Amino acid sequence: MLLSEYQGAHREFQRLNDRFYAARAVDPDLKTLRKASTIRKILKSMFEGTGTDPNVLWTWHPDIPASMVKTKIVYEAYPTSQDEVDAMVAKLHLAALSTIRNPRQAA
């Protein structure tokens, strides 16, 4: 990939990322709502591989206050592994979607 193509793809990824959070955050300018670095790296890799917004879900980590988003979030228990996330996705018949467990952030 040429540098100019990469820069264009990165700008498109940033535009999609900003649009996603603007539609969901209580405060669209809120910078602390961003994904964990692990999730960002995975999504960026998926985007760079296709040039399109990846059709993927990721878990909302309880360390991030639920009041930051418009959707009501209720925590019962946080999955302990990616295998547990995959089992929940299968139980909900969402297996067609990739789902990534958001790891706990370092303090």
DSSP three-state, residue 43: helix
Task: Please check whether residue 65 lies inside any domain of the structure.
Answer: yes
Mean pLDDT of the chain: 75
Contacts of 53 (CB under 8 A, 6+ apart): 13, 16, 47
Given a cut of 70, whether residue 68 has pLDDT beyond it is yes
* Nearest Cα to Cα of residue 55 among 89, 90, 97, 21: 97
String of b and e for 24-61 (b: at least 16 CB within 10 Å)?
Answer: ebeeeeeeebebbeebeebbeebbeeeeebbeeebbbb
User: Number of structural domains, the chain?
Assistant: 1
Task: Supply the pTM of this predicted model.
Answer: 0.50
DSSP label at residue 69: B
With respect to residue 78, please indicate whether it lies within any of the assigned structural domains.
Answer: yes
Is 72 within the bounds of a domain? yes
What range does the domain containing 82 cover? 3-100
Confirm whether 64 is domain-assigned. Answer: yes
Instruction: Give the pLDDT confidence of 39-65 residue by residue, as tens digits.
Output: 778 888 888 878 777 777 777 777 777
Asked if the structure places residue 107 within a domain, the reply is no
Is residue 52 situated within a structural domain?
A: yes
* 105 located within any domain: no
- % of the chain residues with pLDDT over 90: 1
Distance CA 99, CA 55 (A): 9
Per-residue model confidence as pLDDT tens digits over 20-32? 777 777 776 665 5
